[in-house]
Structure formats: structure tokens, C-alpha cells
Structure 1
Amino acid sequence: MNTVEIGRIGEEYAAGILQKIGLTVIAQNYHSRFGEIDIIAVNEQYIVFAEVKTRVQGCLGVPADAVGIQKQRRIIKTAAHYLISHPVNLQPRFDVVEIITSPNGEVISSNHFANAFCAQSSDIF
């Protein structure tokens, strides 16, 4: 399997994780000029912008570590863009979901980090 296929498997699995904890997925792969958000989901309190990182078992590094400060800023700007065009009366939250698969795409493990990072006004402007 190539990395695009592995990534799709991870995103679908992550959407299922979010649904199991009571979130409703309202968008996937949302693009703006600032970047992309893998999953946007809501519940009665939050609008969740989730970044999914999927890696094949045995690859170096922890998937969630790939969400560095620059990636966080792009996600925050993209979320702000989304909220301008889709206003909601919910608290934004930024989650990271990491997925580990076998080489053939079978999910081996997953971790969901709710509130993985926070937005500062300096990240938006």
C-alpha cells in the first residue's frame, strides 16, 4: 500500500474514533489557502478540528510528533477560515489522532489526544 492509501485508512479509522466518543463528523479534508484539516466534528460543546497522523509500524518516530508548531499554526489558520464561512456557537478544540498500521493497512494501534494544542490570537494573524 502507498502512503496515500495508508493515510485514507487512518482518517477513516480516526473518524470512527471521534464518532464513538459522541462527535458528529461534519467535514473531512477541508481545504483553504492556509492548509487542510483532516476531520471537522461537533458535539453540543465543541467544534473539533482533528489532525490525523498515520504511520506504518516500524517507521521512525511517533506520528503525533509530526504536528509541530508550524503545522499547528496552519491548522489554526485553516480553522479560523472555516469558522468565518461556517459560524457556530461552539468552543473550538484542536485534537490529534495517531494511527499505527501494518504494511497492509491493518490498524494496530491508535491514540486520540483531545485538546492537543491551543490557538493563540498571534497564531491567527
Structure 2
Amino acid sequence: MSHTDQPSDGDREIPQHRARARGAVIEAEVERWLAAQGMIPVTRNQHAKGGEIDLIMRDGDILVFVEVRYRASNRFGSALESVTSTKQRRLIKAARFYLAQHGLSCSCRFDVVGVEGSSPRSIHWIRHAFEAF
């Protein structure tokens, strides 16, 4: 494909390093937004066996594991719809690892925050998005 035949920016995939940088910016925005809703940030991008937890926050006495999903458009489904049962299992496994690693035994929940659009972005927050069985 020649330079003039390349797809437009809207059709081209974003290079991995740019996608990670954009993800970090969006996660920081969501963390600030959740803090404005009364939640207290604990940590961000917690790597654990089998997955990564985007944000860990406190909501009173509850430790909240937050999955942040972004979609520029909903052409391939919404950001919230992208949290599949496989992704949920990975998050649960990562959360269990985090709890064990830190010697924690407390009430927990899993929230999902979907972010869509570019400017302005819309934020959709689902508390108790799924349960750990």
C-alpha cells in the first residue's frame, strides 16, 4: 500500500504506545471523577496474576476494584459491553491475588466505568457491575 492509499486516522489502529498513553489519561480522568463522587483512590494499574486492575478505590469501608473501558465510538458496541465474562473472571482472579498479597479481608465490589467519545467524553458508572463467585 502506498503512502497515499493508507487509511484515514479514523480507520487506522492506534499504535500500542499511544493507546497505553491515552488509556493512562482516561484512567486518571476517571479516578478524579470517582474521587469527586466521594470515593478515595488507593492505587492504579495494579498488575496481578492473570490480569490488571485499572483502579482500586475505597467507598467507605468497601474496597472497590474498578475496570475502566474506553471506546471512541459505539460502532463495535459500548465500552460497558466490552467487559465480557472472560474479562470478569480475570479481574476476580487479579483482585483475589491483590487481597492475598496485601493480607486484606474486607468487603469488596467490582465497578465498571465506561468512557465514550472524545470531547466531551461521557462517563457511565456501574456500581456492583458483577459478583465474584
The TM tier, using the shorter chain, reads 0.7 to 0.9
**Identity in percent:** 32
Q: How does 1:1-125 map to 2 (within 5 A)?
A: 2-57=18-73, 59-102=75-118, 106-120=119-133
1:54-76: per-residue Cα shift (whole Å, max 9, x none)? 11135421011111111000000
Unaligned runs of 5+ in 2: 1-13
Q: Which has the higher contact order (CA 8 A, sep 6+)?
A: 1
- Alpha-carbon distance in structure 2 between the residues aligned to 1:110 and 1:89: 30
| Alpha-carbon distance, 1:86 to partner | 1.6
1:61-103 alpha-carbon deviations (Å, 9 max, x no partner): 101111111100000010000001223453110000011132x
Q: Secondary structure at the match of 2:121?
A: strand
Structure 1 runs not aligned, ≥5 long: 121-125
TM-score (norm 1): 0.84
Structure 1 counterpart of 2:45, one-letter code: N
- Please state whether the residue corresponding to 1:26 is helix, strand or coil: strand
Q: What root-mean-square deviation, in Å, do the aligned CA atoms of Structure 1 and Structure 2 show? A: 1.7
Flag the 1:22–1:65 CA change in 2: closer, same or farther, 3 A: same
How many residues of Structure 1 are paired with residues of Structure 2 in the alignment? 117
Shift of 1:30: 0.4
Compute the TM-score of the two structures, normalised by the length of structure 2: 0.79
Distance 1:76 1:84 in 2: 12
Larger Rg over CA atoms = 2
Contact 1:35 1:74 in 2 (8 A): yes
